[in-house]
Amino acid sequence: MLNLAIIGGGPAGLAAGLYATRGGLKDVVLFELGMPGGQITGSSEIENYPGVATIMDGLSFMQPWLEQCFRFGLKQESKKVVKVVKNKDQSFSIFTDSGDEFKAKAIILATGSEPRKAGFKGENEFFGKGVSTCATCDGFFYKNKEVAVLGGGDTALEEAIYLTNIVSKVYLIHRREGFRAAPITVEKAKKNPKIEFVLNAVVDEVYGDKSGVTGVRVKFNDGKTKELKVPGIFTFVGLNVRNSIIKNDDKFICNTNETGQVEVDLKMQTSIKGLFAAGDIRQDAPKQVVSAAGDGAVAALSAMSYIENLH
């Protein structure tokens, strides 16, 4: 039986792994379906992590986290967890997509969140063929071309600014005049001569041919439409929490709020004893690397205390 299973290897899961193993806990396993690092590895730059004054891309930023936490004995299972169940003997069972079952005394759920779909016509059809949710991954395909970016949050504006280093022009499509993004980022985007704002508008349709996207039709709030002849559109319209593994027969095994975020107390304890949640998955998460890491540390300390008091 494992002492602790950490599910998800983003900033929350890695920080939890570091605190648990460095704190002396044995048999701690991190389950991660891909490369550890989390969503920030898809970011073009991070400049708001305290103590790290150098601006760097998300992948480089997370590299030392991996080295540091595996140094203290954290083990990794490169597997996707599909279900978590609490057993009658108080232990948990963790089921993976390769059919394995692992047992653990406690679990830290750190599965984070993933890009939300915007819901326009052509979004699924052209996903990966001109519709993208990752500027660092796909921006280079549009070198010296015009692209569209959809959204008015931090991600949309930051990634639009990043894209201007590669592309000739960015149409920033947003459904209203005001922005959710930080004012400093909005100012930076407004000053950028390569960004043209297309406001009070949504994407009506993305269309194309066998080669991929050839254009985007935007629809303004007054009903008028406009064609943007671009080969690519990046959509950044928010995030959905990844909570499917705590669903059993369509019901969550612990309390969640109306958007499916996991309810926790100040110790990151969920409504199920021994099940902790940290990072973007939890209610009221500020969705920042620094807070995810803080949550992970808190959850690890709480899990250790829980395990110590089990009899």
- Give catalytic residue positions: 134, 137-138
Site string for ligand FAD, 102-121 (x = CB under 6 A): --------xxxx--------
Tokens of 303: 């899990």
Q: Select the residue interacting with ligand FAD from 149, 156, 213, 245 (CB under 6 A).
A: 245
Q: Which does residue 12 touch among ligand FAD, ligand NAP, none (CB within 5 to 8 A, set by kind)?
A: ligand FAD
237 binds ligand FAD (CB under 6 A): no
| Binding test (CB under 6 A) with ligand FAD, winner from 18, 262, 292, 297 | 292
Residues in Cβ contact with 26 at an 8 Å cutoff, skipping those fewer than 6 apart: 3, 73
- Closest by CA to 109, choosing from 255, 290, 308, is 255
Q: Tell whether residue 38 is a contact of ligand FAD (CB under 6 A).
A: yes
Assess contact for 138 and 126: CB atoms under 8 A: no
Per partner kind, with CB cut-offs from 5 to 8 A, the member of ligand FAD, ligand NAP, none near residue 33 is ligand FAD
Name the residue nearer to ligand NAP (CB basis): 64 or 286: 286
Q: Is 34 in the site for ligand FAD (CB under 6 A)?
A: yes
> Are the beta carbons of 133 and 233 closer than 8 angstroms?
no
Q: Which region, left, alpha or beta, applies to residue 259 given φ > 0 means left and ψ of -120 to 50 means alpha?
A: alpha
* Interaction of residue 84 with ligand FAD, rule CB under 6 A: no
Rounded least distance, CB 187 to ligand FAD, Å: 16
Q: Smallest distance from the beta carbon of 121 to ligand NAP, in angstroms?
A: 12
Report the b/e string of 217-230 with b at 16+ CB within 10 A. Answer: bbbeeeeeeeebeb
Q: Please choose which of ligand FAD, ligand NAP, none residue 153 contacts, taking the beta carbon within 5 to 8 angstroms, the exact cut-off set by kind.
A: ligand NAP
Residue ranges in contact with ligand NAP by CB under 6 A: 48, 118-119, 150-156, 158, 175-176, 180, 202, 236-239, 287-288
> Quick check: 74 binds ligand FAD (CB under 6 A)?
no
Q: Which residues partner with 216 through β-bridges? A: 206, 228
Does 80 interact with ligand FAD (rule: CB under 6 A)? Answer: yes
6 near ligand FAD (CB under 6 A)? no
Chain positions contacting ligand FAD, by CB under 6 A: 7-13, 31-34, 38-40, 42-43, 46, 48, 80-81, 110-113, 155, 242, 245, 279-280, 287-290, 292
